[in-house]
């Protein structure tokens, strides 16, 4: 085990790697070599990446793939996806192609309100707190006039502040629940700055409020932070067609449609299936979120909380057959930004935005929702017909071959051989061993 180090962040990148090598790799040069192999020879680009976080020692690559042929509200998109899982981009592309001649995807943004809270302790009389809030509310609003000036000019800003008495859930707990419109910004910085201003204002004004002075009981701010749960920032995407158009190789369209609807019902009925069902949706969503430089942790947290909004963790997608029309849709909260954060810094994010025709935040919400719906349709389509392993292993074949350092000729023979055969890890290895023998 190594000794603790202080001042690690002050070391140069080379010194940091030397320290790692000495303390964790017995000075073995292999580890250093791996880290250095991923340095970018363009020093300006490397510096940009170094500065994204603290203690950068190298870059961690993930593939950027493209899923073309997405018809969304009659416009055609090629969607950028950053993901390591072999079959995700292929599945998205298949789903896009499948729906291309059936009207494509239809989307609409239901709402775009973000929110944050100032969490407050107050152990006095609720009536005093309510009276204080009605006095302080206009002062709170005025206190952020400078902060929200630019946002307001563009049509956004603070929407409202409410006092929420949460003393039934936790003794002495009140919240200032604040709602915002942050337009094309994800809004975290803007919201947190406003909330911290509110917190200072609350504490300052409370000291002057007569009822608090006479009871000698003052509200105390515990913390101020945006909420990543954004159930008022919601987008919907759907696909729909006559069941006859859904006919599969060995399955009638109506039967296939029923199976998809049933698969969704199963995800609604049991969290064990819902988690995997939604994981498949997030394969598509996270990949676009990463490609567009947005915060996938925030999106994941919001989406899964939303999946539980009715009291049980459930499917994020829905399906129906009415008068022989099959419809499948997704409704999810997505707080995204197309300005700020990484969006203007990372050159590949710039590429992704150009590819998507410079979307604003609401357009991006729609495209991300489409990617999630497409991914779910593709997964369910496989699951209720061939099973997922066939397509998944086909895409995974190259990883198995790379894992055993197969040559190009061996790879070509393997791809040829396994076109009509079942792929498994052991089958691929024994095939290549035979070739080598």
Footprint of ligand MEV (CB under 6 A): 85, 276-277, 279-280, 283, 379, 383, 388
Min dist. Cβ of residue 192 to ligand MEV (A): 34
Min dist. Cβ of residue 330 to ligand MEV (A): 13
Q: Which is nearer to ligand MEV, 276 or 308 (CB)?
A: 276
CB atoms closer than 10 angstroms to residue 391? 19
Tell me phi and psi for residue 9, to 5 degrees: -65, -20
Q: Which is nearer to ligand MEV, 48 or 395 (CB)?
A: 395
DSSP result, 191-250 = HHHHHHHHHHHHHHHHTT-HHHHHHT---EEEEEEE-S--TTSEEEEEEEEEGGGG-BTT
Tell me phi and psi for residue 81, to 5 degrees: -135, 130
Integer angstrom CA distances of residue 25 from 2, 15, 30, 34, 39? 10, 14, 9, 12, 19
Kindly state the helix (H) or strand (E) to which residue 30 belongs, with its residue range: helix 29-37
Q: Is residue 137 classed as helix, strand or coil in its secondary structure? A: helix
CB atoms closer than 10 angstroms to residue 57? 17
Contact 187, 226 (CB under 8 A): yes
User: Which two three-digit tokens encode residue 343?
Assistant: 């969006």
Min dist. Cβ of residue 370 to ligand MEV (A): 17
CB atoms closer than 10 angstroms to residue 2? 9
- Of 126, 68, 139, residue with least CA distance to 100: 68
User: Which two three-digit tokens encode residue 407?
Assistant: 């040559």
Q: Which is nearer to ligand MEV, 343 or 376 (CB)?
A: 376
Catalytic residue annotation: 85, 279, 295, 392
Q: Which is nearer to ligand MEV, 118 or 264 (CB)?
A: 264
Q: Which is nearer to ligand MEV, 157 or 284 (CB)?
A: 284
Min dist. Cβ of residue 279 to ligand MEV (A): 6
Min dist. Cβ of residue 86 to ligand MEV (A): 10
Q: Which is nearer to ligand MEV, 70 or 377 (CB)?
A: 377
Min dist. Cβ of residue 379 to ligand MEV (A): 4
Q: Shortest Cβ contact with ligand MEV: which residue?
A: 280
- Reported for 254-257, long-range contacts at CB under 8 A and 24+ positions apart, including other chains, are 254/321, 254/324, 256/381, 256/384, 256/385, 257/321, 257/326
- Of 355, 234, 231, residue with least CA distance to 292: 355
Min dist. Cβ of residue 378 to ligand MEV (A): 8
Distance CA 316, CA 332 (A): 7
Q: Which is nearer to ligand MEV, 156 or 284 (CB)?
A: 284
User: Which two three-digit tokens encode residue 205?
Assistant: 């004004």
């Amino acid at each position: 085990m190594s000794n603790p180090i202080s001042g690690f962040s002050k070391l140069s990148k080379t010194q940091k790697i030397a320290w790692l090598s000495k303390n964790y790799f017995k000075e073995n040069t292999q580890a250093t070599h791996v880290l250095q192999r991923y340095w970018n020879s363009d020093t300006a680009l490397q510096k940009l990446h170094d500065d994204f976080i603290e203690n950068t020692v190298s870059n961690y690559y993930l593939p950027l793939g493209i899923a073309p042929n997405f018809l969304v509200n009659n416009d055609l998109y090629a969607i950028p996806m950053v993901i390591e899982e072999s079959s995700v981009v292929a599945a998205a592309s298949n789903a896009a192609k499948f729906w291309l001649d059936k009207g494509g995807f239809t989307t609409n943004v239901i709402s775009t309100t973000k929110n944050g809270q100032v969490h407050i302790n107050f152990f006095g009389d609720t009536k005093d707190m309510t009276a204080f809030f009605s006095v302080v509310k206009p002062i709170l609003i005025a206190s952020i006039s400078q902060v929200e000036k630019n946002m307001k000019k563009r049509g956004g800003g603070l929407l409202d502040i409410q006092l929420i008495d949460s003393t039934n859930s936790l003794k002495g707990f009140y919240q200032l629940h604040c709602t915002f419109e942050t337009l094309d910004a994800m809004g975290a910085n803007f919201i947190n700055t406003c909330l911290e201003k509110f917190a200072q204002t609350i504490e300052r004004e409370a000291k002057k409020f007569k009822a608090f002075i006479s009871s000698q009981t003052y509200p105390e701010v515990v913390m101020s932070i945006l909420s990543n749960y954004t159930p008022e920032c919601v987008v919907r995407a759907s696909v729909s067609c006559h069941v006859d158009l859904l006919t599969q190789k060995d399955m009638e369209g109506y039967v296939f449609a029923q199976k998809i609807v049933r698969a969704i019902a199963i995800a609604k009925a049991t969290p064990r299936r819902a988690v995997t069902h939604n994981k498949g949706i997030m394969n598509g969503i996270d990949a676009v979120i990463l490609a567009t430089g947005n915060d996938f942790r925030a999106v994941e947290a919001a989406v899964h909380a939303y999946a539980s909004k009715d009291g049980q963790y459930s499917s994020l997608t829905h399906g129906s057959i009415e008068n022989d029309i099959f419809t499948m849709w997704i409704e999810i909260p997505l707080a995204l930004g197309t300005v700020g954060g990484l969006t203007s810094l990372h050159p590949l994010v710039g590429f992704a935005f150009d590819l998507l025709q410079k979307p604003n935040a609401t357009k991006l919400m729609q495209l991300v929702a489409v990617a999630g719906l497409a991914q779910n349709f593709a997964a369910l389509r496989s699951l209720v017909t061939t099973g997922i392993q066939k397509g998944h292993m086909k895409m995974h074949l190259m990883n198995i071959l790379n894992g055993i350092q197969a040559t190009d000729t061996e790879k070509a023979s393997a791809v040829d051989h396994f076109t009509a055969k079942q792929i498994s890890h052991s089958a691929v290895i024994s095939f290549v061993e035979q070739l080598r023998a």
